[in-house]
Structures are given as C-alpha cells and as structure tokens.
C-alpha cells in the first residue's frame, strides 16, 4: 500500500473502500512498527479523499524501526474495531489507530470504561450493530419479473453506516434459493442463487414501489396488532419513523394505534380488559392467573402470586406486585415490605384472619443485577391489563373495605392515576358499594433515609389506625342491624 506525503510531515494513508477494515489493519501494523505517532497520520477513505490536494503525491509506507516488535491488540479492541470501522464517522480510522497506539503502552486500556477513546469506539460499534439489526428487520423484498419472465426480488434500504457487505452473509443464508438484490445509496448487492455480486449506489426509484403480496401482508399485520401489548415509545424506538416510508405496513400504524387506544379506553371504562368468563372460585382464578401471558411481566418466567386470605373477607388490602421473596414462596407480603405491613396491622388491631391481601399486578417485574433481581415498577398499561384479575378477586371475596397501598394499587382500583398524598385519609365509595382507602406502600418507607423514615412511618401507622377504626365502625353497624 502506498501513502501520501504532506509538506507538514503528515502521512496520509488511503484506503480503497469505506469498510476496508483489513486494509486499515495491515497498514496500521506497518506504520505502528515504523513508530509513526497518531498525530502524524491521516486515514483517507474514498469519501474523505474527495478534493484532496495531495492525492497524487504517493510514497511507499515507511519500513519498521530496528528491533520493532509485533503490535499487540486485545480481543476486546478487535471486536469493537471491526464494527466501528463500518461507521460513517470520517474520523473512525484515526480513532482506531490512536487506540491501537495507546494499547502498545497500556495493554488493559480497553477495560477502562471512563476513557474517552474507549467510550468513543464503544459508541461507534453500538451504532453499527443497531444499524445492522435494523437492516435485517426492515428490508422488504418486492417481486418483479425480468425480461425472460423469471421472478426476482428487489429491496430498497437506507443504512446509516457502511454495513452492506458486512450484512450480506445474513441475506444469502436466509434467502439462499431466491434471486434478489438490495439497493442502497451506498452501494448494492445481488444474489443470483450461487454468487454475490456488488454494484454501484442506487436511487429509491430504481426499486419497485409495490407488489401483489403487500395487501396480504398488511392484512396479516393488522390482524396481529395487539392493543394489550401496545407501547408506542418502545415501538418507535424499535421501528424508528425514518424507516416507515419503506415499510408497506407503516401506513396502517397511525390508524391501528388510534384504534388500539380507543379499544383500551373502552375496556377501562368497563373496569378492566375482558378476558372472558370470570372464574367461579379463588382456586380456579389462581389457575387462570398462573397461565396469564397477556403482558410482558406475565411472560418473564416468574410464577404468579395469588392473593391470600378468607374467601369472603370483610377487608382487602392491595399492594403493587409480588417482590423477590414473594415470587420465590408464592405468597404475598412475606418480604421486608410485608413485614412492615403486618407489624403495622397488628399494632392497629387489624386482624389477618379477616383480611384478604393481594397485589395489583400478579407477576414480579424485575431487572437482573448479577445474582440479584431488582424490583421494577409496572407501567400503567401493565397495571390496567392486570385489573381483570384484581376485579375477579374482588367479585369473589366481596370486601366491604379496601386499602390500596401506593400509586399502582390506587390506579388498579380506580382505573386512573391519582396522588397518594392527596388521597390518603379520604375514603371513596366504589361502584359496588365498597369503600376504598389509600395510603403509601410500605416499600416506600424502606427507601427513605433514616431522618425521614420515622416521621413517614408514624403517618403510615396513623393511616392504618384510621382504617382499623373504620373497620370497627362498620362491624358495630352490622352487629346492631342484625340484633
């Protein structure tokens, strides 16, 4: 490989292609052994070489310095560098060489996540991996016939980075029996069933607009669009709007989203999502809850935790969701927050024998952190989906008084988000005639610093004493009416 000599003493090393990692690697090894520092080298790709005044002043790459050893590079660097080399950043190869130069003096540099260059190469590689994934997800082949009447398939895609050749193997393996081509503004590839052929950049109009199969695909897409799983933010993150113009199903998305939201609002007005006939007993309900997979929490592999208590309790206490200990034992409120609740109940005179305890969400939502599972708050959509099960429990238990612990439990009971601090101590009458009280969740107390915990614990105890007094009043009224 030849280089370009600049009057200022810089060495400009040209690369024949934008994604030529192996060419860069070979040249980098040579100039590294020659002792050329990063600030004396400029790496030129075809895109960055346009208008270069020194393009004709070529010279051979310098030879190795006497006694120069073989360059060293860690596996972590090589894995990131192969991806980062495909990025569209014109300075990517300068970054790679600077890191390689530093690795010769600091072998464990890639372990330093705070280093600016290490963060930079990681960001480039992450962006390329995301672009590769998006290409695999959003390429849509359209059928056409060539002059001989044979069927071919053509797709248009607009990658952010130089990933076309690196991604070709995926498509040749996936569509080995098809005659296809992928056109992009950065180049094109065609597979004829035996050979992969590279071509020049293309324009959007070079690809066919639609084919007969797209109406069928749109019908199928609309039929599998699930309003109970709809998370608009997550959907747009996974399917960015810039790809929509090339996806046949994208034209349906606004109407499907609006329809899903309207269907959800209608279901919430009725009290919960409609999952069919309600169970006739708590044991049957427990089996239905255990089999529920209608939201992401239900699909995360944890066991469902059913409520616990008398079949016809006067009092129901509703928490947010089972925690780590609850999921392991299959029982509600047995972890640290549960211990606070049970102690406060005992001090307030609320007997467990007459109380049914349950949660708004029946599965444990968590994020793994090594061997630990850290609690994660359920979303409003997940709480609303699970209202069907809570409403089924209430229909069977028929409590006269309900205590909701925290914002998630309050939403599950009311179908909307309310301020716990504003609502605590202000009972509401629900549609079935039962009375709802709201207070904080005991886990809230566990998260407070020591100087604030005592005061909030006292308020929590006061809330439970007031609730206990209301239980006593209703009990006395029932006794008097039956006398």
d(C-alpha 381, C-alpha 421), whole Å: 22
Place of tokens 């080298």: 41
CB 387 within 8 A of CB 350: no
Dihedral sign from CA coordinates of 272, 278, 281, 283: negative
Q: Where are the domains of the chain?
A: 2-133, 139-206, 213-269, 282-482
**Would you write out the chain's pLDDT as a tens digit for each of its 483 residues?**
655 555 456 789 999 999 999 999 999 999 999 999 999 999 999 887 654 544 444 557 887 788 778 899 999 999 999 999 999 999 999 999 999 999 999 999 999 989 999 999 999 999 999 999 999 988 888 887 767 777 888 888 999 999 999 999 999 999 998 999 999 999 999 998 899 999 999 998 887 776 655 665 556 555 545 554 455 565 556 667 666 666 666 666 666 666 655 555 555 555 445 677 888 999 999 999 999 988 889 888 899 999 999 999 999 999 999 999 999 999 999 999 999 999 999 999 999 999 999 999 999 999 988 889 999 999 998 999 999 999 999 999 999 999 999 999 999 999 889 999 999 988 999 988 899 999 999 999 999 998 889 999 999 999 999 999 999 998 888 777 665
> Which of the following CATH numbers is that of domain 282-482: 3.40.470.10, 3.40.605.10, 3.10.50.30, 3.30.70.2200?
3.40.470.10
Q: Copy the structure tokens of residue 253.
A: 């998305």
Residue-level pLDDT at 153: 87
The SS3 call for residue 126 is helix
d(C-alpha 270, C-alpha 188), whole Å: 54
d(C-alpha 405, C-alpha 403), whole Å: 6
Of 388, 402, 221, residue with least CA distance to 309? 402
Angle (nearest 5°) at CA 309 between 297 and 464? 90
Q: What is the DSSP string of 79-125?
A: HHHHHHTTSS-TTHHHHHHHHHHHHTT-TTGGG-TT-HHHHHHHHHH
Give strand pairing partners of 4: 12, 58
List alpha helices for 114-160, DSSP H.
Answer: 116-138
Stated pTM of the model: 0.49
Between helix 116-138 and helix 92-103 the angle, nearest 10°, is 130
Of 87, 29, 33, 119, residue with least CA distance to 109? 119
d(C-alpha 162, C-alpha 342), whole Å: 60
């Amino acid at each position: 490989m030849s280089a370009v000599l600049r009057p200022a003493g810089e060495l400009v090393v040209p690369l024949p292609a934008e994604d030529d990692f192996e060419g860069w690697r070979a040249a980098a090894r040579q100039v590294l052994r020659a002792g050329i520092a990063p600030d004396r080298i400029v790496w030129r790709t075809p895109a960055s070489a346009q208008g270069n005044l020194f393009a004709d002043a070529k010279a051979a790459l310098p030879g190795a310095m006497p006694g120069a050893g073989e360059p060293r590079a860690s596996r972590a660097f090589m894995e990131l560098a192969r991806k980062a080399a495909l990025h569209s950043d014109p300075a990517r190869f300068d970054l790679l060489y600077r890191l390689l130069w530093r690795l010769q003096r600091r072998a464990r540099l890639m372990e330093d996540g705070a280093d600016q260059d290490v963060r930079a190469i990681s960001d480039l590689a992450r962006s390329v991996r995301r672009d590769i994934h998006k290409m695999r997800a959003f390429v849509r082949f359209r059928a056409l016939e060539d002059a001989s009447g044979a069927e071919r398939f053509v797709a248009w895609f607009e990658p952010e980075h130089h990933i076309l050749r690196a991604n070709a193997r995926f498509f040749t393996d996936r569509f080995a029996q098809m005659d296809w081509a992928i056109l992009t503004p950065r180049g094109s590839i065609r597979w004829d069933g035996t050979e992969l052929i590279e071509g020049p950049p293309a324009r959007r109009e070079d690809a066919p607009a639609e084919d007969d199969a797209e109406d069928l695909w749109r019908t199928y897409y609309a039929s599998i669009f699930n309003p109970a799983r709809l998370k608009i933010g997550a959907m747009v993150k996974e399917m960015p709007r810039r790809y929509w113009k090339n996806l046949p199903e994208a034209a349906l998305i606004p109407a499907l989203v609006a329809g899903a939201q309207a269907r959800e609002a209608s279901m919430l007005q009725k009290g919960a999502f409609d999952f069919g006939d309600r169970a006739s007993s708590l044991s049957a309900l427990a089996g239905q809850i255990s089999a529920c997979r209608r939201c992401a929490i239900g699909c995360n592999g944890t066991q469902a935790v059913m409520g616990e208590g008398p079949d016809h309790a006067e009092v129901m206490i509703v928490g947010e969701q089972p925690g780590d200990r609850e999921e392991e034992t299959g029982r509600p409120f047995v972890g640290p927050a549960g211990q606070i609740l049970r102690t406060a109940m005992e001090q307030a005179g609320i007997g467990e024998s007459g109380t049914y305890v349950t949660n708004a969400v029946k599965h444990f939502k968590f994020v793994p952190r090594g061997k630990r599972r850290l609690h994660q708050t359920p979303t409003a959509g997940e709480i609303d989906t699970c209202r069907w099960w809570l409403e089924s429990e209430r229909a069977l238990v028929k409590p006269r008084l309900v205590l909701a612990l925290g914002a998630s439990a309050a939403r599950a009971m009311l179908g909307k988000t309310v301020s716990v601090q504003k609502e605590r101590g202000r009972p509401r009458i629900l549609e079935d005639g039962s009375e709802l009280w709201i207070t904080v969740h005991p886990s809230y107390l566990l998260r407070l610093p020591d100087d604030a915990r005592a005061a909030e614990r006292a308020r929590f105890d006061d809330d439970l004493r007031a609730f206990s007094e209301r239980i006593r009043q209703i009990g006395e009224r029932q006794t008097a009416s039956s006398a």
